[in-house]
Amino acid sequence: MDILANLALGFSVALSPFTLFLAVCGCFLGTIIGALPGLGPSNGVAILIPITFTLGLDATSALVLMTSVYYGAMYGGRISSILLNIPGDEPALMTTLDGYPMAKQGRAGDALVLSGVASFVGALLATVGLMLLAPTLARVAFFFGPAEYFALYLLAFCTLGGMASNNQAKAALAACMGLGIAMIGVDSSSGLPRLTGGNLHLFDGIDFLVAIVGLFAIAEVFFFIESHGKGSSIGVKLDKVRIPWKDIMATKWTMLRASGVGFIAGILPGAGASLGSFLAYMTEKSIAGEKGGFGTGVPKGVAAPEAGNNSAAGGALVPMLTLGVPGSGTTAVLLALLMTLNITPGPTLFTEKADVVWGLIASLLIANVVLLLMNVPMVKIFVKILSVPAWVLLPGVTMISFVGIYSLSGSYFDLLLMVGFGVLGYILRKLDVPTVPVILGILLGGKMEDALRRAMTLSDGDPIYLFSSPIAIGLWVAAIAGFVAPMFLRGVLKKPPAVTD
């Protein structure tokens, strides 16, 4: 068995006391980075890169440290999503939808353990997938041109309507706001600045972390101020943490399916973990149907996005290693790290630098086990930090948000922008407009526009080009079905529901 021999080689490289120590450090730091609003995996890894240089780590050690931070952040993001309703990083966005309601029902411990297990399953399957299939899967990227990418992003937006079950128009409005915000910055297809008002700070566009922290964390602070600290939604009580075997067994198929969906989304360059968790959640939601109760705090709604985003994180490594094309923001930073270590990812990496690749895969497996051990029994510690009274916690969240966002680019402008988003988030929530679609609009809108512009350039503006391949047509069909089906199925499946909320 070639793979077993390779894996043995990998473990022989990665399994030294020093690298194990690095893996534990990386996992711990990563979990915290993920849990803190405003510090996502990509800037977490970026911040730590100078440390690997200063410590003079060799290629394998540096990779072990960075990948355990990367996986750790993917685990950690869920903690503040579930306990505070503030996503710790962008892929954890979808976890707020069911995780927080579940926590409010007094099942915060269950939600955390369940999502930890789901993260483990997702990450493990993705690592196995990476191990077995990477060289083959790399070819998938060759089948995705501009038309296919456009259809893929369209699919994501078309299923958005089904997300906010009480008012689809408001979800659509919110998505449009996100799309509008995504247009700010230098337009990649013409090189001209748009909606920047000549301000250099806006040339790179608006970082979605600024938007997330503003819309969620800062808006929460405004609500807190308004209510003078009474009746704040923050500060979930946590009882005994038990392992919810029943929920884990009940969601096993959800985890497997979500891992599959997430992995595929991760493999596609540019789609990334956020799209992975979103598609995983929406797939499970449509499978469960109206009776599934998604959005009200069901275990499946917690397991799906977490399995999805962790397996997408693993999937994103496939194009990064085999093609040198990063599948997400964080892998773009990891790619830069590899380049500075004189390792050029590409089709020949698996054969030429077998020790590095298999060492990396082994370290991913190690990190994953460490993270499961760390996150399930130790979940109480993380929860303790977050279950302090709201009047202590919120100033802390505010401080962390400001420091985290300032560390992005070191400019006060982002802080002003963040407060602006906080005001926007406050107003939107007062109007009962969901904020999640705004973020998705910002995250995916720019990429969707790029894909469309490229397709139009290649085809001389001929829209037929968008339907020119079987993959594109398949995605279009799925997108239209995803958009139309909820409208009709709702009437067919059951009587118009009485308004309960």
Partner 1 sequence: MTQRFFKALMTSAVLSAGLAGGAYAAECIAPANPGGGWDFTCRQIGKIMYDIGAVDQPVQVTNMPGAGGGLAYNHVVSERADDSDVVIAASSATTTRLAQNAYAGMTADQVRFVGAIGADPGVIAVAADSEYQTLGDLVEAIKADPGSVAFAGGSAVGGFDHLKPLMILKEAGFTDITSVKYIGVDGGADAITQTVGGFTQAMTGDMSEIVSFLANGDIRVIAVLTEERVPGFDDIPTAKEQGFDVVAVNWRGLYVPKDISDAKFDEWAGKLQQVADSDEWAQAMADNGLAPFTKVGGDFQAYVDGLVAEINAMSKELGVLQ
Write down the least CB distance from residue 308 to partner 1, Å.
23
C-alpha span between 174 and 44 (Å, rounded): 29
Please identify, using beta-carbon distances, which residue of 78 and 447 lies nearer to partner 1. Answer: 447
C-alpha span between 94 and 302 (Å, rounded): 8
Per CB under 8 A, 190 contacts partner 1: yes
Inter-residue long-range contacts of 349-353, CB under 8 Å, 24+ positions, other chains counted: 349/321, 349/322, 350/134, 350/135, 350/321, 350/322
* Residue of 372, 383, 98, 376 whose CA lies nearest to 251: 98
Pairing of strands 193-194, 185-186: antiparallel
Please identify, using beta-carbon distances, which residue of 86 and 97 lies nearer to partner 1. Answer: 86
Q: Which of residues 348-407 bind partner 1 (CB under 8 A)?
A: 348-349, 400, 403-404, 407
Per CB under 8 A, 336 contacts partner 1: yes
Among 70, 144, 294, 421, binds partner 1 (CB under 8 A): 144
* Candidate ranges 120-128, 142-150, 245-253, 293-301; the one touching partner 1 (CB under 8 A): 142-150
Among 233, 409, 423, 473, binds partner 1 (CB under 8 A): 409
Per CB under 8 A, 461 contacts partner 1: no
Tokens of 170: 């408001």
Please identify, using beta-carbon distances, which residue of 104 and 453 lies nearer to partner 1. Answer: 453
Query: Helix (H) and strand (E) counts for the chain?
Result: 23, 2
Per CB under 8 A, 325 contacts partner 1: yes
**Interface characters, 40-69, with partner 1 (x: CB under 8 A):** ------xx-xxx-xx---------------
Per CB under 8 A, 286 contacts partner 1: no
Please identify, using beta-carbon distances, which residue of 101 and 205 lies nearer to partner 1. Answer: 205
Tokens of 245: 């075997």
What type of residue sits at position 210?
Answer: V
* Candidate ranges 1-9, 190-198, 219-227, 418-426; the one touching partner 1 (CB under 8 A): 190-198
Per CB under 8 A, 445 contacts partner 1: no
Per CB under 8 A, 295 contacts partner 1: no
CB 41 within 8 A of CB 30: yes
- Token look-up 């247009």 returns 183
Among 333, 367, 370, 383, binds partner 1 (CB under 8 A): 333
Write down the least CB distance from residue 234 to partner 1, Å.
19
Instruction: Report how far Cα 310 is from the mean position of its chain's Cα atoms.
Output: 8
CB 162 within 8 A of CB 180: no
Per CB under 8 A, 347 contacts partner 1: yes
DSSP letter for 497, please.
P
Per CB under 8 A, 454 contacts partner 1: yes
Beta strands in 158-301 (DSSP E): 185-186, 193-194
Neighbour-count burial for 121-159, b at 16+ CB within 10 Å, e otherwise: bbbbbbbbbbbeebeebbebbeebbbbbbbbbbbbbbbb
CB 157 within 8 A of CB 482: no
Q: How many CA atoms lie within 13 A of 433 on its CB side?
A: 21
Residue ranges in contact with partner 1 by CB under 8 A: 29, 32, 36, 39, 46-47, 49-51, 53-54, 141-146, 186-193, 198-201, 203-204, 269-270, 323-326, 333, 336-337, 339-340, 342, 344-349, 400, 403-404, 407, 409-411, 453-454, 457-458, 460
